[in-house]
Amino acid sequence: MGKPIVLASGSVHRRELLQNAGIDFAVDPSTLDERALEAPLTESGATPEDVALILAEAKAADVSERHPGALVIGADQTLSLGDERFHKPADMEGARRALLKLSGRTHVLSSAVALVRDGETLWRHVDQARITLRDLSPAFIGRYLAEVGDAALSSVGSYQVERQGIQLMERIEGDFFTIIGLPVLPLVAELRRRGLVDG
């Protein structure tokens, strides 16, 4: 039998967070088309928290079909600036435009996690963090993107707060793990409650 816990995400950051927490797990990323799932939710007026939760559950449910009996962890993160939602940039020009929009303003990250076994959602949780970027000049944004390279394309805000992205920040309100994309403390507490981590 495979590992009893499966992470339904290809995110290097989420994998590192779980590894650093001492969790024994396998990785099997979901192949769902997130944007196709998200479009009707957005049109129906779903909040960023709702979208993150629904996508986290959908990913976990998708992967749970391939791992009977395993506890599957699904996760998703949304970034919203007022009514506007942001996605991972497709290219450096998209990253540049996103950072120009976020410059000098406060955006909200909603990070959701869900536990699913055999298609049934057993637990779900969402946390929010607020990040205010300092006023960024176009020239600085260009230098920042040249320095970080393709890493800017791997996150929804075009930054990694644990790396050089911290240079963009003026203020951070919220849990560090929520910002990275996985509310680790409530997740580990739930795994402990279920007897899957030592407690």
Burial of 146 (0-12, 13-18, 19+ CB in 10 A): exposed
Could you give the CA distance from residue 78 to residue 160 in angstroms, rounded to a whole number?
Answer: 15
Question: What does the block give as tokens for 102?
Answer: 């976020």
Report how far residue 88's alpha carbon sits from residue 108's, in angstroms, rounded to the nearest whole number.
15
- Is 28 an active-site residue? no
Check: CB of residue 80 under 8 Å from CB of residue 48.
Answer: yes
User: Which tokens is 21 given?
Assistant: 């927490």
One of 76, 83, 135, 198 is an active-site residue; which one? 76
- What amino acid positions are annotated as catalytic residues? 76
